[in-house]
């Protein structure tokens, strides 16, 4: 089985199309939440993802708020402005579909579990060693994939805990040993925040047990122009070019 792993698309259609073109024939796709928010194409992104065959979805925090099933209170000013625009822009049918997305964590198969924030709380950000350790303890599969932070990261636990070096300037590849637990964030498709503007995604080959984190360039200028044309805050457009 060859999985395409995508997370945090955030209504960035140009970034999504670049990722799908870079990995056009996966056996299945795993979508780890935050389809909408920040970007200018929430309806089109939802339609594009729904059209993919053999796709497993879980929701993200922006999906919940955009669909009206969670409060905007925890969002900062920029995120609040964008999600309120998103909620007003989504059609009723797409809003209902978004609201029905399942929460994580979710078992995918004997090897893989997926979540948006963490396997113990879908909204928690895994930034530090403490939350990574806690996640590895409660995860139920060899590989737990997460998103939410918009930053590629990898951790493993064998006899001890180890954070693995994921460099943004090169493809990252890891071989999954059967006796080690892994916690991996393949980065954000539509809103990278690690200083690399390119869309980030993952590919997992379950037969070879190789997980690869990749980057692909996309038409940033068009994505930026759409944000500005929609009347969203300028910073949401400008940040795309710097990956912050």
Q: Measured between alpha carbons, how far is 138 from 131 in angstroms, rounded to an integer? A: 11
Q: Roughly how many angstroms between the first and final C-alpha of the chain, as a whole number? A: 33
CA-closest candidate to residue 172, choices 142, 204, 149, 140 = 204
CA-closest candidate to residue 82, choices 62, 97, 61 = 62
**Taking residues 4-11, what's their average pLDDT?**
98
**Taking residues 86-111, what's their average pLDDT?**
98
Q: Measured between alpha carbons, how far is 4 from 157 in angstroms, rounded to an integer? A: 24
Q: Mean pLDDT in the chain? A: 95
The pLDDT, as a whole number, for residue 145 is 98
The CATH number of whichever domain residue 226 belongs to comes to 3.60.21.10
How many distinct structural domains can be found in the chain? 1
Domain, as residue range, for 166:
2-241
- Strand pairing partners for 195? none
- Going by pLDDT thresholds of 50, 70 and 90, the confidence category of residue 74 is confident
Q: Measured between alpha carbons, how far is 132 from 155 in angstroms, rounded to an integer? A: 7
pLDDT in tens, 151-160: 999 999 887 7
**Taking residues 32-56, what's their average pLDDT?**
97
pLDDT in tens, 192-216: 999 999 999 999 999 999 999 999 9
- Whether residue 98 is predicted with pLDDT greater than 90 in this model: the reply is yes
The pLDDT, as a whole number, for residue 235 is 96
Q: Which CA distances in Å does 142 have to 75, 102, 103, 130, 155? A: 33, 22, 20, 19, 12
- Going by pLDDT thresholds of 50, 70 and 90, the confidence category of residue 35 is very high
Q: Measured between alpha carbons, how far is 110 from 180 in angstroms, rounded to an integer? A: 14
- Going by pLDDT thresholds of 50, 70 and 90, the confidence category of residue 167 is confident
SS (H, E, C) the chain: CEEEEECCCCCCHHHHHHHHHHCCCCCEEEECCCCCCCCCCHHHHHHHHHCCCCEEECCCHHHHHHCCCCCCCCCCHHHHHHHHHHHHHCCHHHHHHHHCCCCCCEECCCCEEECCCCCCCCCCCCCCHHHHHHHHHHCCCCEEEECCCCCCEEEEECCCEEEECCCCCCCEEEECCCCCEEEEECCCCCCCCCCCCCEEEEEEECCCCEEEEEEECCCHHHHHHHHHHCCCCHHHHHHHHCCC
């Amino acid at each position: 089985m060859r999985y395409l792993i995508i997370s945090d698309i955030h209504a960035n259609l140009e970034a999504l199309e670049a990722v799908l073109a870079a990995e056009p024939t996966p056996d299945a796709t795993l979508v780890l939440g935050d389809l909408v928010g920040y970007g200018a194409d929430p309806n089109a992104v939802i339609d594009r993802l729904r059209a993919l065959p053999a796709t497993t979805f879980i929701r993200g925090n922006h999906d919940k708020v955009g669909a009206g099933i969670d409060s905007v209170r925890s969002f900062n000013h920029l995120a609040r402005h964008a999600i309120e625009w998103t909620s007003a822009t989504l059609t009723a049918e797409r809003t209902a579909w978004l609201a029905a997305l399942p929460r994580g964590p979710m078992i995918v198969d004997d090897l893989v579990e997926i979540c948006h924030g963490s396997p113990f709380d879908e909204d928690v950000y895994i930034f530090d060693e403490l939350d990574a350790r806690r996640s590895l303890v409660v995860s139920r599969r060899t590989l737990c994939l997460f998103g939410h932070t918009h930053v590629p990261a990898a951790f493993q636990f064998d006899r001890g805990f180890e954070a693995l070096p994921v460099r943004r300037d090169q493809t990252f590849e890891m071989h999954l040993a059967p006796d080690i637990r892994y916690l991996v964030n393949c980065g954000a498709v539509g809103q990278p925040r690690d200083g690399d503007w390119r869309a980030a995604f993952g590919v997992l080959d379950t037969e070879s047990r190789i997980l690869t984190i990749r980057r692909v360039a996309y038409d940033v200028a068009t994505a930026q122009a759409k944000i500005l044309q929609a009347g969203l805050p300028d910073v949401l457009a400008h940040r795309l070019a710097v990956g912050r």
